[in-house]
Chain A
């Protein structure tokens, strides 16, 4: 709860929303030009999946004040479900995505119901414990193929129209899916529900005294966040063409915290920026091998020590804008 309290978000006035819409159009335009720039599209697609995952995670901590340390379970669950549906059942891509996202949604209902009863570090620990439980289940159950993971997943034809095995088509499908989910998150933040959620984050006892059942709102935020994380996991299957234990591992839960934190908790665009930075680092610093983790750790420390609002948070504060 206290993690984000010094992150004074500017009053959510009409101007704030306009700033964000301008930023959104710029972001969409930049991303749409990627295939013409010679940037490796696989890298951008992967970054988009993580960006969506980070945005979904941020919905919970940045606006609900709840730090989950087990969000990888939603990413991984959706990944396995989608991969299994595509490869074993041979369903079409859209059905595969629905199966994966629904799986993550169901998991978030159960885990959310258990974990939202506690706050702060206890909440984080319960989510971590649950995600470890999920990890070991996937390690043992045959359908995930344990350490090997599910490999060589067919990408198929989306709606029978778009051939996802063509990189450019896949890129635009992923981009559109990302932008739609991003808009949904943005809308949720600026909805009647978002207002109550912010009120609860700001002062929970007061919100309760006004007659709000805080737990129900937190659960709702948790389910939204988990489901959208799952959506990111389902999309990622089409990019990576595999589903493995990496995506359910606790280090993935940690990485998403890092992405959101570097970009800026409680900012709309922060997680996107954070995800691109971390994915770029892993891509371009791969030559350093294990040292990437050390470099990530150092960046994390620098971020916490010097710019606590995150990159986008600092920029927004500098220009007194809401991003």
Chain B
């Protein structure tokens, strides 16, 4: 079973001062799939996401990644196992160039990160690989641009390149399309589709078109609970899902 599902949760629950943000969520993410987590505002998607990447500690339940219990692991250790996340607010290092952004990720795997007595020119050996990764996401011409000066959509692409530099097995994308224009959405969607050939992807996304086009499986969350799970076509027929999205109180 560990082979078929790369990530599983059992009875995942998170309580904030009496408020159950996530309750008894059981997820099974199939290896190699694009799995989307959707739901109205406040459904607990981001909380769920932060639990999976260990940025939050669950109140109850278990998280199993590649057959290994990661429930009480530190976030940096989870990342080292190949489970890497992105952030809702674009997560780049603003005053490093695009190349340096990617290089920081490459550097982690190859050691020397505590060497304060060596020149950083030893990092130049990562440049070819970093350039390759930038090219993969269409950022070649931005290599020497500081991340802070790049357009928003390009920052997201840079973030993905940085994540790919870690050679992860599974990527967790937190609203990869948030705040993007149409053109950028298409580009990033195509990019996600392309990289999904090699990686398992779990994403939280508001844009239902994107979800419909990209995902293999969709889990709908409301009020911290799993409401439904399946492919997009089935879910659109589900009355409960319609109600959750359109019903009173959710707008």
Cβ contacts A188-210/B at 8 Å (1 or 0 each)? 10111111101100110111111
A29 within 8 Å of B (CB atoms): no
Nearest B residue (CB) for A266:
B95
The answer to whether B93 and A211 touch across the interface, beta carbons within 8 angstroms, is no
15 residue pairs from A and B, CB less than 8 Å apart:
A11-B96, A11-B146, A190-B119, A192-B123, A193-B113, A195-B100, A195-B123, A196-B104, A198-B95, A199-B96, A210-B104, A211-B80, A213-B74, A213-B76, A220-B116
Give the distance in Å from the alpha carbon of A211 to the alpha carbon of B75 in the complex.
7
The answer to whether B94 and A187 touch across the interface, beta carbons within 8 angstroms, is no
The answer to whether B75 and A192 touch across the interface, beta carbons within 8 angstroms, is no
Give the distance in Å from the alpha carbon of A78 to the alpha carbon of B92 in the complex.
40
Contacts of B80 in A (CB 8 A): 211
Contacts of B94 in A (CB 8 A): 202-203
The answer to whether A191 and B96 touch across the interface, beta carbons within 8 angstroms, is no
Interface positions of B from 106 to 150, Cβ below 8 Å from A:
107-109, 112-120, 122-123, 144, 146, 148
The answer to whether B76 and A211 touch across the interface, beta carbons within 8 angstroms, is yes
B219 within 8 Å of A (CB atoms): no
Interface residues on chain A, number (Cβ under 8 Å)? 33
Most chain A CB atoms below 10 A, which of B87, B95, B122, B146: B95
Contacts of A290 in B (CB 8 A): none
B166 within 8 Å of A (CB atoms): yes
> Given that A202-B96, A203-B94, A209-B85 are known contacts, is A192 also in contact with B107, CB under 8 Å in the complex?
yes
Question: Chain B interface residue count: which class?
Answer: 35 or more
A212 within 8 Å of B (CB atoms): yes
The answer to whether A206 and B93 touch across the interface, beta carbons within 8 angstroms, is yes
> Given that A199-B93, A210-B162, A211-B80 are known contacts, is A192 also in contact with B87, CB under 8 Å in the complex?
no
B79 within 8 Å of A (CB atoms): yes
B20 within 8 Å of A (CB atoms): no
Given A205-B91, A212-B113, 18 additional A-B pairs, CB 8 A: A8-B95, A11-B144, A187-B117, A187-B119, A191-B119, A192-B114, A194-B120, A195-B103, A198-B95, A202-B95, A203-B91, A203-B92, A209-B79, A209-B84, A210-B84, A211-B77, A220-B114, A220-B116
Instruction: Quote the shortest CB–CB distance from A194 to chain B (angstroms).
Output: 7
Instruction: Quote the shortest CB–CB distance from B3 to chain A (angstroms).
Output: 24
Nearest A residue (CB) for B74:
A213
B105 within 8 Å of A (CB atoms): yes
Contacts of B119 in A (CB 8 A): 187, 190-191
The answer to whether A191 and B104 touch across the interface, beta carbons within 8 angstroms, is no
Contacts of A216 in B (CB 8 A): 114
The answer to whether B120 and A195 touch across the interface, beta carbons within 8 angstroms, is yes
A151 within 8 Å of B (CB atoms): no
Tell me how many residue pairs across A and B have CB atoms closer than 8 Å.
112
Interface positions of B from 149 to 199, Cβ below 8 Å from A:
162, 166
> Given that A9-B95, A195-B123, A206-B92 are known contacts, is A188 also in contact with B117, CB under 8 Å in the complex?
yes
Instruction: Quote the shortest CB–CB distance from B58 to chain A (angstroms).
Output: 18
Give the distance in Å from the alpha carbon of A9 to the alpha carbon of B108 in the complex.
23
> Given that A9-B95, A195-B120, A205-B55 are known contacts, is A211 also in contact with B108, CB under 8 Å in the complex?
yes
The answer to whether B114 and A210 touch across the interface, beta carbons within 8 angstroms, is no
Instruction: Quote the shortest CB–CB distance from A208 to chain B (angstroms).
Output: 5
Instruction: Quote the shortest CB–CB distance from B232 to chain A (angstroms).
Output: 29
The 10 A-B pairs with the shortest beta carbon distances in the complex, nearest first, are A211-B79, A193-B116, A206-B91, A188-B116, A202-B93, A211-B80, A213-B76, A199-B104, A192-B112, A191-B116
A306 within 8 Å of B (CB atoms): no
B222 within 8 Å of A (CB atoms): no
Instruction: Quote the shortest CB–CB distance from B80 to chain A (angstroms).
Output: 5
Interface positions of A from 133 to 153, Cβ below 8 Å from B:
none
Nearest A residue (CB) for B91:
A206
Instruction: Quote the shortest CB–CB distance from A142 to chain B (angstroms).
Output: 37
Instruction: Quote the shortest CB–CB distance from B217 to chain A (angstroms).
Output: 24
The answer to whether A198 and B96 touch across the interface, beta carbons within 8 angstroms, is yes
B116 contact from A11, A194, A208, A209, Cβ within 8 A: A194
Contacts of B87 in A (CB 8 A): 205-206, 209
Nearest B residue (CB) for A14:
B121
> Given that A202-B93, A211-B80 are known contacts, is A191 also in contact with B117, CB under 8 Å in the complex?
yes
Contacts of A220 in B (CB 8 A): 114, 116
B9 within 8 Å of A (CB atoms): no
The answer to whether B104 and A195 touch across the interface, beta carbons within 8 angstroms, is yes
The answer to whether B93 and A191 touch across the interface, beta carbons within 8 angstroms, is no
The answer to whether B91 and A209 touch across the interface, beta carbons within 8 angstroms, is yes
Contacts of A184 in B (CB 8 A): 117
Contacts of B115 in A (CB 8 A): 191-193
